[in-house]
């Protein structure tokens, strides 16, 4: 039965980014896992049939083709609109009838920008997970896969030749679900459906198991993370409704409180990965939220904060942007949900700053949605999203500046505003614009003079906001961000208060006028939502009471 569109899906149309894919591959057999090479344009895929494929791609040429084709299609749509043949010019990536990116209908890839290195049937059952070797000095030289046939295989990335394999379970019913490799030691970990953790020597898979930990989680292990900042022997595991911190030599060190919600995926922040730390963990939940945890605060006993993403869907995967060049991107993570949506969440601001549509009901097979179950980041910080039906590599080019120049005479489009990756505040600006229009309507009732004062004050605020943007780079601590420093907006309130007292002196007995001014002052904070943490603003709102 086809899924109904939720409110979140409809809202995604307004929040949708203008960034489009550069490559889309559609699959006839279900896609179960993907892995992107850390330093090269190489992508690995594993399917439900046990077939695996390794291919390389020319990202620059795919980007170029996408940009030129998009410009061509946009110009044709504008011409049709001018001639009255089309009711509007489509600006949405997901709602477009024409795809301007490279689109491959099946796995029989025939494209000059994509070269299949090798493909084979690697497992008798499904290929459940795959990871490239992260060891320094041999990054990405080998690919590890696990299948429902209880076999882990190690193969050369270039040729696909098997270099080692091991049977992971003495009990055939307990199948492997997830893999993880130490970044410093030859430790290969495999999580199982029964919540067990198996540790092998990746340098010699044929050797005996090194460590075997039983029931690190109550149910199937959904994710494993190494803790290089703590020890090569320490790892985090997610399973059922708990997060466990384990030492592979000793067992469970700590286990979180029961979250009463399935924990599906987790990741560290971009900054902590680059610094070799593992204090902050972001976890995706089955009830449509992501939560933040800190080892330094409570030993990962419980979540500290939560961010609502999509109450109608589960957040099945989460990954850091890995981009240090932009502060907003460094403070963001990507997450994919079961409604086919991709969300970039700034965890320091605690909100969604960008949305992309991996799949919609219109694009899915037989009216279904391709749920986003896999995410990765390629060597050039491009987002890779995948469901069981399709895989997409997204552009990392910001086309917004070009579009703004071409569309400066057209109506302002919310999709373009929110798609600007360079700021991350676009959704807030979009809401603020709407609220400022409401303010204008209410102020019309109180007189033209009030409107002039409101416009002058808003212009001053916008100038101050622009000059304040560079100062965000010095606020690296999340708690410093939440407790923002004082701004010049306090001076605007003082000026407003002075103007009001001057107006009130000759009209002390006119109560209705006084109330209107108080209402105006309350509504004036529409473009000051970022300053709600300041107690002074909240106190002044209740002067009448």
CATH at 260: 2.130.10.10
Residues 372 and 328 in one domain: yes
Asked if residue 2 is part of any domain, the answer here is: no
Residues 486 and 447 in one domain: yes
Residues 352 and 486 in one domain: no
Task: State yes or no: pLDDT of 383 exceeds 60.
Answer: yes
pLDDT at 471: 38
Residues 432 and 367 in one domain: no
- 3-state DSSP assignment of residue 336: strand
Alpha-carbon separation of residue 171 from 149, 151, 193, 194 (angstroms): 11, 12, 11, 11
Burial 42-58 (b: 16+ CB within 10 A, else e): bbbbbbbbbbbbbbebb
Beta-bridge partners for 89:
none
Asked if residue 87 is part of any domain, the answer here is: yes
Asked if residue 421 is part of any domain, the answer here is: no
Alpha-carbon separation of residue 513 from 457, 509, 520 (angstroms): 20, 9, 11
Task: State yes or no: pLDDT of 48 exceeds 70.
Answer: yes
Residues 86 and 129 in one domain: yes
Task: State yes or no: pLDDT of 527 exceeds 60.
Answer: no
Interatomic CA distance for residues 267 and 541, integer angstroms: 41
Residues 182 and 287 in one domain: yes
Confidence of residue 300 (pLDDT cuts 50, 70, 90): very high
Residues 380 and 435 in one domain: no
Q: What is the pLDDT of residues 178-234, one digit of tens each?
A: 999 999 999 999 999 999 999 999 999 988 899 999 999 999 999 999 999 999 999
> Which residue would you say has higher pLDDT here, 137 or 525?
137
Residues 17 and 142 in one domain: yes
Asked if residue 332 is part of any domain, the answer here is: yes
Asked if residue 413 is part of any domain, the answer here is: no
Interatomic CA distance for residues 383 and 368, integer angstroms: 23
Domain count, the chain: 2
Residues 15 and 115 in one domain: yes
Domain that holds residue 130: 7-400
Residues 106 and 22 in one domain: yes
Residues 192 and 79 in one domain: yes
pLDDT at 4: 52
Residue ending a domain, among 350, 366, 400, is 400
Contact 143, 120 (CB under 8 A): no
Residues 396 and 438 in one domain: no
Q: What share of the chain is helix, strand, coil (3-state, %, to 5)?
A: 30, 30, 40
């Amino acid at each position: 039965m086809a899924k109904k569109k939720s409110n979140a899906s409809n809202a995604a149309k307004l929040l949708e980014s203008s960034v489009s894919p550069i490559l889309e591959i559609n699959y006839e057999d279900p896609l179960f896992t993907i892995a992107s090479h850390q330093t090269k344009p190489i992508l690995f895929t594993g399917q439900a049939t046990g077939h695996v494929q390794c291919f390389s791609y020319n990202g620059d040429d795919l980007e170029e083709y996408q940009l030129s084709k998009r410009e061509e299609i946009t110009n044709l749509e504008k011409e049709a609109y001018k001639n009255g043949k089309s009711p509007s010019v489509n600006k949405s990536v997901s709602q477009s009838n024409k795809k301007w990116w490279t689109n491959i209908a099946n796995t029989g890839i025939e494209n000059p920008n994509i070269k299949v290195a090798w493909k084979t049937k690697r497992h008798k059952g499904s290929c459940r997970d795959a990871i490239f070797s992260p060891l320094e000095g041999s990054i990405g030289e080998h690919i590890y896969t696990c299948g429902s046939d209880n076999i882990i295989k190690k193969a050369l990335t270039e040729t696909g030749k098997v270099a080692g394999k091991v049977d992971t379970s003495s009990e055939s019913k307990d199948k492997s679900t997830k893999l993880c490799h130490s970044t410093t030691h030859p430790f290969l970990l495999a999580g199982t459906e029964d919540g067990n953790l198996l540790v092998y020597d990746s340098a010699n898979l044929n050797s005996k198991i090194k460590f075997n930990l039983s029931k690190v989680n109550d149910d199937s292990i959904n994710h494993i993370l190494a803790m290089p900042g703590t020890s090569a022997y320490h790892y985090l595991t997610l399973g059922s409704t708990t997060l466990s911190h384990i030492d592979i030599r000793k067992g469970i060190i700590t286990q979180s409180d029961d979250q009463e919600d399935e924990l599906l995926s987790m990741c560290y922040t971009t900054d902590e990965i680059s610094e070799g730390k593992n204090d902050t963990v972001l976890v995706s939940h089955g009830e449509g939220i992501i939560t933040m945890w800190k080892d330094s605060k409570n030993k990962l006993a419980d979540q500290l904060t939560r961010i609502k993403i999509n109450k109608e869907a589960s957040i099945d995967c989460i990954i850091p942007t890995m981009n240090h060049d932009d502060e907003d991107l460094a403070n963001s993570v990507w997450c994919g949900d079961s409604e086919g949506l991709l969300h970039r969440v700034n965890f320091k601001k605690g909100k969604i700053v960008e949305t992309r549509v991996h799949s919609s009901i219109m694009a899915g097979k037989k009216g279904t949605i391709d749920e986003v179950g896999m995410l990765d980041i390629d060597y050039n910080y491009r987002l890779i999203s995948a469901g069981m039906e399709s895989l997409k590599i997204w552009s990392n080019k910001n086309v917004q500046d070009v579009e703004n120049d071409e569309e400066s005479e057209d109506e302002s489009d919310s999709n373009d505003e929110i798609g600007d990756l360079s700021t991350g505040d676009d959704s807030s600006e979009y809401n603020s614009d709407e609220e400022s229009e409401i303010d204008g309507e209410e102020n019309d009732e109180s007189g033209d003079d009030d409107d002039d004062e409101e416009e002058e004050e808003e212009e001053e605020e916008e100038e101050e906001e622009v000059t304040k943007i560079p100062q965000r780079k010095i606020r690296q601590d999340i708690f410093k961000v939440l407790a923002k420093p004082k701004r010049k907006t306090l001076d605007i309130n003082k000026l407003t208060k002075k103007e009001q007292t001057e107006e009130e002196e000759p009209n002390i007995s006119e109560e209705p006028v006084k109330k209107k001014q108080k209402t105006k002052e309350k509504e004036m904070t529409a473009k000051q939502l970022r300053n709600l943490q300041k107690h002074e603003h909240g106190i002044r709102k209740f002067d009448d009471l």
